Amino acid sequence: MRQIDRYILGQLLAPMGFFALVFTGVIWLTQSLRIVDTVVNNNQSAAVFLELSTLLLPSVMMMVLPIAALSATLFTINRLYTESELTVLMAAGQSSAALLRPAIYLGLFATALTAALTIYLVPRAATELSTRTSEMRAEFANSLLREGQFNHPLPGVTVYLRQANSEGQMLDIFIHDARSGGQSITYTASQARLVKSEDRLQLVLFDGAAQQFEDAGNSLSILDFDRFAYDLGPMVAADVQRNRKPAEYGIGELLNPPAALWNEDEALRARLMAEGHDKLSSPLYALAFPMLALAAIVGGAFRRGGAGVRIAVAVGLAVVVRSGGIAAKSAVEGNVQLWPVLYLLPVLLMIGSYLYVTRGARPLRRRQVAA
């Protein structure tokens, strides 16, 4: 690597780290808000919230790195432009094509990081996050039966308890079961205990009574009991079992889904393959965006007024191309044969940026200076 390339690359890396940190913090904060309800409703601690929020970081950084590379290149090249360092390069006969090398080095670095996140870390973090969320929702003692509140663990069932502890022991419990249509039963007990088996959840009531209206509400039947097991249904298994999302699978499973995975569901197979090709093509934007940023600033004639308009054009073009990639993913889900479009968009952006910068391969000092 030439000395000038090392210098410009060093100028690029620090802003990229800054933009990556800022963008990651902002997006991570907004994304973490969606797990607040899960943590609060399950009566979990701040440590659990921090753990789940940390699992969001790989997916956030995957989105941020291409944007950070674009922002760092725009910021750095524009600063060199306004501080007349590019003027020195012009006087030395440096061509604009030579400036592509540090931008490409930065893009390759960002591409490698994005690929590692997309292919390796994101699926594992997404799987762990979904698993931990499902496990928390299966902890009914904390999530569904909270003391001092009217809980509704099942449709038609209302449970109130005065006090409960983490071991499932409860005091002064009230249950109103209206699942039988016109008839309803009310249970009261001085003590209760939550018992979970492999696939069912039961409340074992002690020293209580069951009240039920009979004969269309004309008579009341009361049954005292020392011990009674109230079944809350097969809620544990139904809550723990879940379908994995396409983002949780590895690249091999997505690009060539096994028959057991999509079970002759062509729509699901198309979604899986679209997700796989999107994961492989997304890191290419981390290389295309720095090239676009450099082309926008140094590709045209020198202007003393700065490159504000060119920066706006570069940002707008990056938004359009990335939005096109998102639209292309949706198109691939409808027709798998369109998968090359996902790779074509960033590749065309790279080719266009390269040609715009290197056209004629003229040194910067020979360009027309515009007012």
**Each residue's pLDDT tens digit, 283-312:** 999 999 999 999 888 876 555 556 778 889
Closest CA to 70 of 287, 313, 344: 287
Q: Is a pLDDT exceeding 50 seen at residue 92?
A: yes
Beta strand pairing call for 302-303 and 369-370: parallel
Cα separation of 311 and 300, whole Å?
12
Q: Residue 308: is it exposed, middle or buried by C-beta count within 10 angstroms (0-12/13-18/19+)?
A: exposed
Cα separation of 238 and 235, whole Å?
5
Q: Between 343 and 37, whose confidence is greater?
A: 343
Q: Which two tokens stand for residue 343?
A: 């790779």
The secondary structure of the chain in percent helix, strand, coil, rounded to multiples of 5, reads 60, 20, 20
**Strand residue runs (E) in the chain:** 150-151, 157-164, 169-180, 183-196, 201-214, 219-231, 302-303, 369-370
> Which among 20-34, 81-95, 249-263 has the top mean pLDDT?
20-34
Classify each residue of 38-59 as buried b or exposed e, where b means 16 or more C-beta atoms within 10 Å of its C-beta. bbeebebeeebbeebbebbbbb
Confidence at residue 223, expressed as pLDDT on a 0 to 100 scale: 87
pLDDT digits 0-9 by tens, 21-60: 999 999 988 888 878 777 776 667 778 888 888 888 999 9
CB 288 within 8 A of CB 107: yes
Residue 258 φ then ψ, to 5°: -65, 155
Confidence at residue 289, expressed as pLDDT on a 0 to 100 scale: 95
Q: Is a pLDDT exceeding 60 seen at residue 241?
A: no
Provide the pLDDT confidence category of residue 245 given band limits of 50, 70 and 90. confident
Q: Output the CA–CA distances (angstroms, integers) from residue 193 to 152, 166, 197, in the order listed.
A: 17, 11, 13
DSSP reduced 3-state for 250: coil
pLDDT digits 0-9 by tens, 175-197: 888 877 667 889 999 988 877 66
Q: What is the DSSP letter of 149?
A: S
